[in-house]
Structure 1
């Protein structure tokens, strides 16, 4: 994937955003790996990665993601990295850099963001039957993305209805 003459340089590590996968970087890989080694992986619960059960506490979830990135780094025996994070990936690599600053040579944030609070009327926007099904799927899988996957072709419409606030904020990204 990269030229061997660059194998001693600090590698790029690309971390995708929420609801995405490693394929997000497809158009950037060829040009980026001409400069140095490049790694990209699917975050836990995204793309083709495993589907772990996440804790209910947001700080504990963040810690789980950050720890998974550190374990990945240890497995590959990387000393330092140039972390490139998009969207939620930008949030996570920032958290990683705060916890493991000695492992990060540079940090590149591409449209980073966190998660806004749920709107106060969040539950009322979702029909009762959808909430019941979502709770059943959540109780067995532990992740909202599993609910969207289980909804099949209706997943995008479900997300648009449940989080209309995101559609308003990022209207240029939605149909």
Structure 2
């Protein structure tokens, strides 16, 4: 084979290899860019959901402050429906936050305790100011956890209010088990 032909074939082979590597690199880069763009969209949606939840929590807190400061007895106000609507919108927003399992759990736990206090006060026809205080504490707990999460920090330790509620709930379940004669688990 002549040297010119061999040089031409080697050049052509090098061109094919270079083109193949270039196409492969382009495909890999494009896949990476698509994944990065998708991850950014998900993060942006999660951030927007977190901001909406935080807005709802602050609105709940402001509403409860207004209820507490009102001269009208709490029992005569239709404040509870507004409060529960804020809680519902908060929980709907945090459900859309990707990778936020622990903050969702903390907020849901606090909101569940606050709304449970409201239901108990209504069922027992007890003064609802206890429920107002519980919902206010729940809102503050949730604001603290969500704010830390949104800043990229770890979720703070539970407040004393939440720890007391957990303990009181455990005590309640233990006494129910004793009343039923079944051992607590």
Provide TM-score, normalisation by structure 1. 0.26
